[in-house]
Each structure stands twice: as C-alpha cells, then as structure tokens.
Amino acid sequence: MNLLTESETPPHYSISSKDIIRLENASVRYRVPSERIGTFKEYIIRLLQGRVKHKTFLALSDVNFGVRRGEVFGLIGQNGAGKSTLLKLVARVLQPSSGRVQVAGKVAPLLETGAGFHAELTGRENVYLNGAMLGFTHQEMAKKFKDIVDFAELWDFIDAPMRTYSSGMWARLGFAVATDVDADILIVDEILSVGDDAFQRKSSERIEAFRQKGVTILLVSHNMSLVKQICQRAAWLDQGKLMDVGSVDIVVDRYLQSVRDKENRRLMEEQVETVDRRWGSKKIEITQVRIYDELKQPQHIFYTGQSLILEMNYLAHETVDSPVFGIAIHRQDGLHLTGPNTAFSGMNLGKISGSGKMIYTVPHLPFLPGKYYISVAAVKNDDTEIYDYHDRLYPIQIDNENRGIFEKYGLITLQGEWQHER
C-alpha cells in the first residue's frame, strides 16, 4: 500500500531553484540469472547454448520526490529497500531504466570510508591514492594533506602500512579523506558511527559545517534518532517503492510502526510453529493463549513500563479441585526470570469443570530490551501432576526505540529516582 502524503509533481516537471535533486517516475530493473551458476566459464557456455534464463528484479519502482537546496534529507528503510540503488542514481553511477533523475550540482558520495585503501601501502600513499579515485590531482591532494591528517589525528602513524592500523584508525582516515571536499550535494551513507565517541563528535560537527554552508545532505541511516535529530524531511522506501515522504517525525514514526507491526506478525507466526512443546495429562487443557496490550490489542512487542495482559482459556475435561494456574518468563538464552501463579497470590479456585478463562495482568513490564518467552501451565495444587504445560511457546519482545527510555544495562529496571544533595 502506498502511503504518500505529499502531492507528486507531473512527469514534465523541470528542476527549479527550489529542488537540487528530483526523481520523476524513476525505476531501476536488473536482469539476474534464475539459477545459480558456479563459474564464469560455465555461465558463458550456458549462455552460448541458450540455457541461461533470467528474471527481472525491480530495485526501484516509479519513485517520485524532490530534495530542496540546503536541506538535510533522510532516506530510510530496511536492508534491500532500494536505498543504495537510489544513491547510485543521485551520484550518477547508475542510470534509471525508466523515468528521470535530475541533479543540479556537484555530488560527493561518502558511502564506505576507506573502501579504496590498500593494506600494504602507507597511510600517506593511501591518502593520495584515495584522492585520485575521487578525481583530485596530486597537487590538489598535496594542499589537502595536512588538513586531512590533522582531522584524522594520525601523524604518528601516517607513514606506517595500513595493515598496522586498527579498524578505528582506518575509518578515521577514510572519513577525513572523503569529507575534505567542496560539493553541492553530500551523500552520507552510514558513516557517522566511525571511530570513538570523540571522533564521532568531530564527524558530526563536520557534517554540520557542511549544512551551515548550504550544502544539501542526503543521509542514509538505520539510526532513527540521528535521522530525527538532523533531518528536516525524509523518504521511506520499502522493496523499491516509495511508501512515504514528508516531515521527518511523521515519516520515521510511520516507518517504525511498520517495522514493529511486521515483527509482531513474525512473533505470532513463531508462536504457531512451536505448538509441539507442550505436555500434561490434559485433565485441564489450556486451549488458547492471547497476549494483549493495555488497549486489548493483540501484541507481542512491548516497551519497558508498558502493561501486558495475558488471557489463558482452559477446558476442564473433569472436575478438578483447586488447580493452580501460572506462567513463567525466560530470557532468550534460557535464564528463568519469574514464575508467578495463582497459589502464590493466595487465590483458591475451588472445584472447576468445563470451560473458563484466567487473566494475568502486568501493570508495568520491568524488562529491558530483548526477546523473552512466556510459558503457561495448569498443575495440581500439590505439584504432583501437570495437567497442561506450554513450554516457552509465546514470544514477546521489549523494544524501547523512539520511546524516550534510555536504560539498557542488565535485565530489569528498578524505576528508581535519583536525587543530588550538595
């Protein structure tokens, strides 16, 4: 389903002073072999024999949007959504199969820092080599060299082979070379997380300096907090289709909700696939288990502090005196976290028969982000017989993304309060 919120421009739109990038019904199709062929030789033989069958893969499908001059524009979506293909169109590395892409200005793509470095060459040699790959002459790189090494803070290692560099040093030098450019459009693809915290701050400051100079920045990132922090607008791609474009807060929230809904469906399917993990005499049979949020909506993804409601439908095939119902929650690695039951709560059900329902409500989930599994059980009150036990059949996930909850260490939150006295 297409969720576009901005009115689209007609196909004959001409790029204006307002937009520096414009995509009009842009599509990219790839032809890929329909079966895997092990070697190039085998491929050529099959091709000559007419035995190579191809299928068409649509990486981008009729994408329409514009990026305004001087804005920071976010491009979001899961892996395989078509973001990298779109970046190649803007960087003029790729031509659209149909439609039109208009770019007014010099583009500097900061895609993968240090991608052109050679491990056996020194840092100095790699700076000049990488500069040549970016289109700079030797004289131009000589003028840039001091600023690049100053920014990377690598004077003590600049004449050492790159194979002696740590991954952080490698990334710092790559970022310094890639961002020492004069461009109208900057394409930033997941490179603001290179190096340590101090260098990340320097990297962010450099990107901010580009923005203040009026450079248009096209940012691709899976860090939604970063996208919201520095972008004005965003576009969301999913399987090559433009799902939404507009205000960054609205687009990111819709994207995160879509991801959450997709993961929720996956967890529900996982629950169905593991129904063989149960045992018991079935004097009482647990016939259905449902997990809800506070709005009584079926849910398997929660955030720390949210309410969870578990409903357990049962059928007693004979009269049973004072059975005990309970649940258990395990972390994904098998650690048993809790095991409340009706007996611990002082609840005596008396004699039961036929059908009924047990409801267990957790007003505030204390768990920190991660995956957890819920077990449910009905047992005899003296623990000598299990009537029905569903062992870790019901997964839930705690996800605090975009919830303003930053605690992350350990298993649970104490929900305590800090005070400072001088």
- In DSSP notation, 141-177 reads HHHHHHHHHHHHT-TTTTTSBGGGS-HHHHHHHHHHH
Q: What angle do CA 365, 366, 371 make, to 5 degrees?
A: 80
Tokens of 308: 């969870």
Q: Residue-wise over 5-41: b if at least 16 C-beta within 10 A, else e?
A: eeeeeeeeeeeeeebbbbbbebbbeeeeeeeeeeeee
Number of other residues whose CB lies within 10 A of the CB of residue 113? 24
| pLDDT recorded at residue 51 | 67
| pLDDT recorded at residue 408 | 85
| pLDDT recorded at residue 12 | 38
Mean pLDDT of 100-129: 81
If phi > 0 it is left, if psi is from -120 to 50 it is alpha, else beta; for residue 162 that is alpha
| pLDDT recorded at residue 194 | 60
Q: What is the dihedral of CA 140, 141, 143, 148, to 10 degrees?
A: 140
Q: Counting Cβ atoms within 10 Å, is residue 75 exposed (0-12), middle (13-18) or buried (19+)? A: buried
Q: Where are the beta strands (DSSP E) in 221-348?
A: 233-238, 241-247, 278-279, 284-292, 301-302, 308-321, 324-331, 336-338
Q: Please give the mean pLDDT across all residues of the chain.
A: 85
Is residue 21 classed as helix, strand or coil in its secondary structure?
Answer: strand
How many Å apart are CA 276 and CA 291, to the nearest integer?
19
1 pLDDT exceeds 60?
no
Domains and CATH numbers, the chain: 279-398 (2.70.50.60)
| pLDDT recorded at residue 246 | 92
Q: Counting Cβ atoms within 10 Å, is residue 380 exposed (0-12), middle (13-18) or buried (19+)? A: middle
Q: Would the CA dihedral through 401, 407, 413, 416 be positive or negative? A: negative
Q: What percent of the chain has pLDDT over 70?
A: 88
Polymer length in residues for the chain = 422
Q: Are strands 98-103 and 107-110 parallel, antiparallel or unpaired?
A: unpaired
Q: What digits encode the pLDDT tens for the residues 77-86?
A: 998 888 888 9
Mean pLDDT of 319-347: 95
| pLDDT recorded at residue 5 | 40
- Rg for the chain (alpha carbons), in Å? 29
Tokens of 254: 């819709």
4 pLDDT exceeds 50?
no
- What is the amino acid identity at position 190? E
Tokens of 64: 């329409």
Q: What digits encode the pLDDT tens for the residues 13-41?
A: 344 457 899 999 999 988 776 667 667 77
**For residue 171, which phi and psi values (nearest 5 degrees)?**
-65, -40
pTM above 0.85, yes or no: no
Mean pLDDT of 128-132: 85
Number of other residues whose CB lies within 10 A of the CB of residue 140? 13
Which of the residue ranges 50-54, 101-105, 232-236, 241-245 would you say has the lowest mean pLDDT? 50-54
169: confidence class by pLDDT, cuts 50, 70, 90: confident
Q: Specify which of 49-53, 75-79, 90-94, 322-326 reaches the highest per-range mean pLDDT.
A: 322-326
| pLDDT recorded at residue 113 | 58
Q: What digits encode the pLDDT tens for the residues 366-383?
A: 999 999 999 999 999 999
Mean pLDDT of 212-228: 87
Mean pLDDT of 225-239: 90
